[in-house]
Every structure is written in C-alpha cells, then in structure tokens.
Amino acid sequence: MGFLKKIIKNRRSEGSVESKQSGFDHLSEEQLEHHLSIAQYGSFRLTDAIRPSYNLDVVPSAGYRKDSYFDSETGVEIPVIIAAQTSQRLIDLFIDLLDPLGEEVDLVLETSHQQNEGVHRDLYREAMDLPVLKSALYDYEDMLLNDGCCGVAVLNPQIPLEVQLDEHKLLLMYGQHLGQFERILIEHGLDCRDEIKFITEAEHVHSSTVEYSETFEEVSYRLGVEN
C-alpha cells in the first residue's frame, strides 16, 4: 500500500482544522508503516483510501447516524444521514442508495489531486441516465474505493436529494425526506447508532497514487464532466 499523500488532517466533524500538530510526528518509520498496514478493525475493513489516527481516537466501525447540515447561504437546516460500511460491501450499498434519486441525475466528481491542502476541484455533469452512471461506477470501483483524493456526489435537484461517497469513503445522504435511504441502509445490515464516531472526527491520513490521479482523469472524460 502506498500512502503517497500523507496529509494529516485533524478535524472537527464539520471539517475544520483544529491543529497542525500530528500524533504521527513522534513515530518511527517502522511504527508508521505498521499502523498504515492495518486495514481491519474487528469485522470492519477499511479501503486503502484512509487510515485512522495512531492513537485510534476513533475506531472505524459500520453503522449510521442521523444529523443535520445548516446551509448558510439559504438559512435552511437540511437533514443528513452519515454512514460507514466495510469495504467489501461499500460499492454495492452506494449503488443501491442511488435508486431513490430517479432515472436521471446530476453528477459531481470531486478531486484534490494536484491541489493545495484543503482545496478541491469539482467537475459537473447534468442530466445523466442513472443506469449508465451505475455501470461506469462499477467499472471504476477500485479507484472510487481506494483513492483518498476522490469523491463522487449524485443528486436530483428536482426532489431534491443527494448522495455522496466522499474521499473518506463515508456515505452522506442529504434531503428533507431520507426514509428511503434509511430503509436501504437497514437492508444492508447497518444499525442506527447515535454514539457512532466517524474517521473524519479525529486525525487521519489519506492515500492516493499517481495511477489513481490518471484514472480519475479517464473517468472524468468518460462521464463527460466539466469544471
């Protein structure tokens, strides 16, 4: 595993940086290599995209939590569900969560490849047939799961609902009516856990490779997204 993008991010749940100090700073190369090689905690297996803090302030696990997001531009509070699923089942769950969006969706690909820390580039595609998108997502499953610089959002602004598989490989669902998503999560064996903590809520490290950066450009071209 090549953790080529060793960007340590110490975040609050909303994503703001708390401190530039890292719990990784005092580690020897052997300790760091060993920690980054650990991919499984209990029955939960991480993708290659991300690893938790050395002190395991958050132990990765499967489940979901209901929350809300305040849109400062509109002044509206939007319900959100955040979910984590073991890597072996993640892509199938993500694909199934797209069904409530309808047959035609908008797509956003997010990348932090070759960007300054904390900076992302978003690429957009409107009015895409959902079956076509699902096929492409399966074709690029390896990159979507294991590239810590890549995220994807699928939405239907007419409903409106949105589903994200972010660069931490967490699933986020936004909208006023999220019951369909919750039923799908339960069907996939996830429990609602108010106390669950996600990997973004503590220090963590992202991984990517040059090959994934090139693959991202390939999938962007195939899906016809634009800056």
Q: What angle do CA 82, 227, 121 make, to 5 degrees?
A: 50
Distances (CA, A) of 89 to 78, 212, 222: 27, 21, 25
Chain length of the chain: 227
Beta bridge partners of 173: 81, 163
**Could you report the per-residue pLDDT of 27-71, keeping only the tens digit for each?**
888 998 899 999 999 999 999 999 999 999 999 999 999 999 888
Q: For 97-107, what is the mean pLDDT?
A: 97
Give yes or no for a contact between 62 and 196, defined as CB atoms under 8 angstroms apart.
no
**Could you report the per-residue pLDDT of 209-223, keeping only the tens digit for each?**
999 999 999 999 999
Mean pLDDT of the chain: 88
